[in-house]
Chains A and B, each alone.
Chain A
Amino acid sequence: EDQVTQSPEALRLQEGESSSLNCSYTVSGLRGLFWYRQDPGKGPEFLFTLYSAGEEKEKERLKATLTKKESFLHITAPKPEDSATYLCAVTETSGSRLTFGEGTQLTVNP
C-alpha cells in the first residue's frame, strides 16, 4: 500500500527565513510525485510533478527536489503570501490514482 508522510505538520517562519518541507513516500514503483498548494477553504492548486530521482523544478520562491525515498519543497526567502498548506501526493506505475499526505501548514509572518 502506498504511503506518504509529510513533515513537519506545521511550520512558522519569519518573512525571508528560508526552510524546507519534507515528503517521505513508499510505493511499489513511483510514476510521479506531486506538490500542491491549498489555501483555506479552496481546492488544491497544482505546483510541480517530479518523475525521477535527481529531478528538480522551480517556481518563483519554491524548488522541489526528489530522491528515491523522499521529496523536499524548499522555500527561499518566503513572503506572507506563501502561507498555505502544502500537500504532497504520489502515483505508482500501475495506475493514476493519487495518494496524498496530510500536508504541512506553513505560516509566514511579516
Chain B
Amino acid sequence: DADVTQTPRNRITKTGKRIMLECSQTKGHDRMYWYRQDPGLGLQLIYYSFDVKDINKGEISDGYSVSRQAQAKFSLSLESAIPNQTALYFCATSDGLVDEQFFGPGTRLTVL
C-alpha cells in the first residue's frame, strides 16, 4: 500500500459547489502539506500543518480551508469552487527531523 494516499484521484465539479479532497498517510509523520500545481507554475503551497493543533496558511490559501482530523489525516476544502481552481492537487508529508517531503499521487480537479 502507498504511504500517502489521496481521494478522489479525479473530480469534475461545477462552479459554486463545495469540494473536499482527502489525504491519509501511514508514514507516521507529524507534518502535512497541501500543494497546487498548474502547468508552468510549479508547486504552490496552500496550507501546512506541523501537528493536529497547528495549521498555517501558505502562499495561496484564499478560497481554501483545511482540517487536520488526526496525525494521519489532512483534508482540503474548496467552499465554493471556481474555474481557476482547476489544477492538480498534491498532499505531502515530512517528519520534521529531515526536510524531505513525500508526496501523494495527486488529485486532478476540474471546475466547470
Which residues of A line the B interface, CB within 8 A? 31-32, 34, 36, 41-46, 49, 87, 89, 91, 96-98, 100-103
Contact = CB atoms under 8 A, between A and B. Distances in A.
B43 A87 contact: yes
10 contacts: A34-B100, A41-B106, A41-B108, A44-B43, A45-B103, A46-B101, A49-B98, A96-B94, A97-B58, A98-B101
B106 A97 contact: no
A34 B58 CA distance: 19
Contacts of A41: 106, 108
Given A97-B48, A98-B45, A102-B41, A43 B90 contact: yes
Nearest to B98: A49
A97 B100 contact: no
B96 A44 contact: no
Given A36-B103, A49-B98, A98-B45, 17 more contacts: A31-B99, A34-B101, A41-B106, A41-B108, A42-B106, A43-B92, A43-B103, A43-B104, A43-B105, A44-B43, A46-B102, A87-B42, A91-B99, A96-B31, A97-B45, A97-B58, A98-B43
